[in-house]
């Protein structure tokens, strides 16, 4: 029987062509090997499926605002659009920012640093804690590690303590750049790994998602990420308008005090010298009247500018539409036991077939030698 099997295996390739019947026979004769391989792969897959930590996924879909200015172009803009020319963008009429920038915003250091200091509800804590505090608590030494540190590793502990003391005594200059602690870097790396922003180029929709081991926490992470993202875009869009508003507001406050002082001085003087008619009184009255009129004119002009600046900030503030809000997930997103089992079966089958052909190659080499 063994000789027949070897003869069938040796006749798989005939005249540089593959004999499918001989190939199927070889695989069928080695089916026990495939069964063993599949069984081992499925066993390993079950171990992975039931020992891997559970993860939950939440997401939020939003529509960014695409405000357009310069609507007075009318039919000219429509005709140019048919020709593939965007006159609005050429004239600076597009007030929205490209959706492709959103993932870069979420992965930027300012965003991640602000994110790690936001407080969230963890199942391990009664009160809300930040990701930074969670990272610090996770890096605290256990009792066993402290015993090893001050017994077996005592020389290295003393060495590290002396080096740290020298570094601490060294007065390093402030270069005005970001100086992040190790815990902050760990928390920021976790944020970058967990929170994902995807942009659909066809529809323009922005999907913010996250996947962690706690269902309530993952919904909080997505919601807070969307809020910070909206705040960042709003600040970016209205930066110039807000700076102008702050300047006008400061000027308005100063001129308001001057106007109220000039008004009070003018009417007080007018009441005190109501029945007096002299050239000196008339001169002082005219001077105070001119100061009051000038202060009133400037004050009223700044009041109009202030209202216009407020309107401009409101107009330039982008509005976001939440198409799908973040919800607390009920079902686990990982591990997917069905997928793991299917992949294990496929992988085990390929490994078994590989072992069969590996044996065939070894037999051919032995016979050729």
Query: Rounded to 5 degrees, what are φ and ψ at 326?
Result: -70, 135
Alpha-helical segments (H) within 179-278: 182-194, 215-237, 239-272
Strand ordering across the sheet containing 196-199: 196-199, 206-212, 56-63, 321-324
Q: Which residues pair with 210 in a beta bridge?
A: 58
What pLDDT score was predicted for residue 177? 60
Element (H, E) at 208: strand 206-212
Q: What is the DSSP letter of 199?
A: E
- Spatial CA neighbour of 306 closest among 247, 353, 355, 363: 247
Query: What pTM value is reported for the model?
Result: 0.65
Cα-based angle 62, 99, 87 (whole degrees, multiple of 5): 120
Q: What is the pLDDT of residue 7?
A: 47
Nearest to 62 by CA among 298, 228, 177: 228
Between helix 239-272 and helix 215-237 the angle, nearest 10°, is 60
Collapsed DSSP state (helix, strand, coil) of residue 122: coil
Q: Are 320 and 64 in contact (CB under 8 A)?
A: yes
Give pLDDT tens digits for 115-133. Answer: 998 999 998 888 998 888 8
CA–CA gap between residue 368 and residue 365 (Å, rounded): 5
10-residue stretch averages of pLDDT, the chain, 369 residues long: 45 64 80 90 89 89 68 47 45 58 87 90 89 73 46 56 47 57 80 89 88 92 93 89 93 93 88 71 82 91 93 88 90 86 92 86 75
What's the confidence (pLDDT) of residue 147?
A: 46
Beta-ladder partners of 213 = none
DSSP three-state, residue 183: helix
Question: Residue 177, SS3?
Answer: coil
Written as one string, the DSSP assignment of 287-320 is HHHHHHHHHHHHHHHHHHHHHHHHHHHHHHS---
What pLDDT, on a 0 to 100 scale, did the predictor assign at position 266? Answer: 86
Beta bridge partners of 74: none
Q: To the nearest 10°, report the CA torsion of 271, 273, 275, 280.
A: -150
How far CA 293 is from CA of 30, 263, 300, in Å, comes to 106, 9, 10
With 0-12 CB in 10 A as exposed, 13-18 as middle and 19+ as buried, what is 304?
exposed
Distance from C-alpha of 301 to C-alpha of 248, rounded to nearest angstrom: 11
pLDDT at residue number 50: 86
Size of the chain, expressed as the number of residues it contains:
369
DSSP per residue, 62-110: EE----B--GGGTHHHHHHHHTT--HHHHTT-B-S--TTHHHHHHTSHH
One DSSP character per residue, 1-17 reads -HHHHHHHHHTSEETTE
Q: Which residues contact 183 (CB under 8 A, 6 or more apart)?
A: 132, 135, 136, 139
Q: How far apart are CA 69 and CA 93, in angstroms?
A: 5
DSSP three-state, residue 278: coil
Neighbouring-strand partners of residue 57: 211
Whether 326 and 222 have beta carbons less than 8 Å apart is answered as: yes
Report d(CA 195, CA 108) in Å as an integer.
12
């Amino acid at each position: 029987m063994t000789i027949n099997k070897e003869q069938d295996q040796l006749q798989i390739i005939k005249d540089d062509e593959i004999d499918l019947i001989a190939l199927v026979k070889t695989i069928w004769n080695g089916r026990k090997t495939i069964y063993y391989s599949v069984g081992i792969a499925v066993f390993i897959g079950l171990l992975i499926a039931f020992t891997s930590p559970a993860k939950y996924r939440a997401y939020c879909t939003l529509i960014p605002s695409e405000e357009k200015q310069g609507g007075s172009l009318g039919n000219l803009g429509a005709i140019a659009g048919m020709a593939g020319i965007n006159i609005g963008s050429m004239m600076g009429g597009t007030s929205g920012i490209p959706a492709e920038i959103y993932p870069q915003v979420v992965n930027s250091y300012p965003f991640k640093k602000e994110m790690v200091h936001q407080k969230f509800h963890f199942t391990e804590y009664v009160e809300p804690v930040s990701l930074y505090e969670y990272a610090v608590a996770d890096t605290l030494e256990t009792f066993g590690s402290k015993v090893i540190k001050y017994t077996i590793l005592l020389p290295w502990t003393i060495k590290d303590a002396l080096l740290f003391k020298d570094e601490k005594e060294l007065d390093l200059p402030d270069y005005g750049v970001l100086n992040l602690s190790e815990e902050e870097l760990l928390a920021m790396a976790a944020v970058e790994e967990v929170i994902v922003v995807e942009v659909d180029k066809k529809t323009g929709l922005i999907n913010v998602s996250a996947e962690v081991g706690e269902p309530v926490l993952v919904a909080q992470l997505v919601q807070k990420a969307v809020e910070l993202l909206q705040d960042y875009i709003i600040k970016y869009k209205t930066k110039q308008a807000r700076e102008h508003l702050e300047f006008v507001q400061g000027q308005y406050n100063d001129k308001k005090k001057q106007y109220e002082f000039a008004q009070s001085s003018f009417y007080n003087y007018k009441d005190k010298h109501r029945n007096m008619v002299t050239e000196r009184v008339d001169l002082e009255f005219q001077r105070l009247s001119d100061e009051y009129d000038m202060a009133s004119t400037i004050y009223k002009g700044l009041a109009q500018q202030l209202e216009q600046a407020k309107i401009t900030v409101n107009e330039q503030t982008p509005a976001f539409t939440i198409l799908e809000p973040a919800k607390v997930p009920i079902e686990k997103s990982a591990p997917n036991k069905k997928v793991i089992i299917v992949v294990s079966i496929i992988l085990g089958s390929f490994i078994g077939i590989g072992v069969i052909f590996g044996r065939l190659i070894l037999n051919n080499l032995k016979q050729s030698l």
